[in-house]
Structure 1
């Protein structure tokens, strides 16, 4: 069953905003942590996003997969780089990671790739 990955992305980002209305300090602390970790450094932000794709696939986090596929494209990753990152996860996560790679990850790539061409 094909998932509406754009709806998943929007639901996640909207949910963060709504949660911040009543839990601003917690959401802001989380966002500061992310913003610090994803800054350019010894590793590029693109590389960090590709690492996040692999971790998301390994953990089978649907929201994380969709979000980090989008962010990977935003930071200049190619379809091939995103798939290769996911295949690293499959080496550790086996069948469940492959299942998410050939379904949700593929759907997210197909949907978001056109936004960055």
Structure 2
């Protein structure tokens, strides 16, 4: 089982270190990501489910952990998160299934009740 809470903390710390090392580039990236993952014609909830699927397809463990946590934070359910990842498996095959069955499921189980007040 992955220690997804430690992975989330390490990812956040790493991004802060990058921002200190290159504030202009990381500021631009942060601004773009913030704009892309905000409410719009597509709801933030739907955007986070898309991000979960892309993270699983890309096999980025830190992205998987972060976006599963963010998906719960904006009110997604366990079932929605797993279903989004299952769509990614349809395109990514075995490798995506492996990351979904391990890292994603560890994150789903770990963060499931962190944002119960949102649902």
After the TM superposition, which parts of structure 1 deviate over 3 Å for at least 4 consecutive aligned residues? none
Q: Which residue is 1:68 aligned to?
A: 67
Aligned partners of 1:114 and 1:83: how far apart in 2? 15
Aligned partners of 2:38 and 2:103: how far apart in 1? 27
Structure holding more helix per residue: 1
The Cα of 1:20 is off from its aligned counterpart by: 1.2
Taking only aligned residues, the RMSD between alpha carbons, in angstroms, comes to: 0.7
The Cα of 1:26 is off from its aligned counterpart by: 1.0
Q: Which residue is 1:53 aligned to?
A: 52
The Cα of 1:18 is off from its aligned counterpart by: 1.3
Aligned partners of 1:10 and 1:23: how far apart in 2? 20
The Cα of 1:73 is off from its aligned counterpart by: 0.4
Task: Provide the TM-score with structure 1 as the length reference.
Answer: 0.97
Q: Deviations along 1:65-99, whole A, 9 cap, x unmatched?
A: 00000000000000000000000000000011111
Aligned residue pairs total 116
Runs (5+) with no aligned partner, structure 2: none
